[in-house]
Amino acid sequence: MSRGRHIILFWFSLITVKVGMSMSRYKVDFKSLAWETLMPGLNQKCFNSMNKRTRRVEYTKEMSPHSCGKTHCGYVIDGMLEIKFENETVVYTPGDFIVIPGGEEHKHVGRTLTEKVRVVYVEGS
């Protein structure tokens, strides 16, 4: 198993899931969660527990460029994502782990380099 997958499994092990209709206390079942459209080209399934937010995000080429200053910790499942910072541009590919601190000095703009990019994020809620 790759190091990135170990990190995701570690994060998921820190999350205790409330018992729901199709949820276990120990599993986030993304298949049972509804998609939420944040803007064209940016869809997510979101789960909150223990002051953490776990999101499965899908970006497509329809996503318009927008600036973001939030903290992000996520694992790239598939696709290629380019994120531009003030003095650097980083390309993320499957297996990469995204680590972006929050704040004005880390403001960034992302865009997809492939038709679709899928990422799982675990962040503070």
Calculate the alpha carbon distances from 112 to 24, 47, 91 in Å.
Answer: 33, 24, 10
pLDDT value of position 15: 42
Which residues, other chains included, contact 42 with Cβ-Cβ below 8 Å and sequence gap of 6+?
Answer: 57, 58, 59, 60, 63
Domain of residue 13, CATH code: 2.60.120.10
Number of H helices, E strands in the chain: 1, 10
37-72 pLDDT per residue, tens: 999 999 999 999 889 999 999 999 999 988 999 999
Q: How many domains in the chain? A: 1
List 6's β-bridge partners, or say none.
none
pLDDT value of position 5: 53
Ranges in the chain, pLDDT < 70: 1-23, 125
Calculate the alpha carbon distances from 94 to 10, 13, 26, 79, 112 in Å.
Answer: 18, 22, 25, 6, 13
pTM, to two decimals: 0.78
Torsion-angle region of 41 (φ positive above 0: left; ψ -120 to 50: alpha; else: beta): left
Reported residue count of the chain is: 125
Extended beta strands in 3-92, E state: 36-39, 42-49, 52-60, 67-68, 72-78, 81-84, 89-92
pLDDT value of position 22: 53
pLDDT value of position 124: 85
Q: Which domain holds residue 105?
A: 3-124
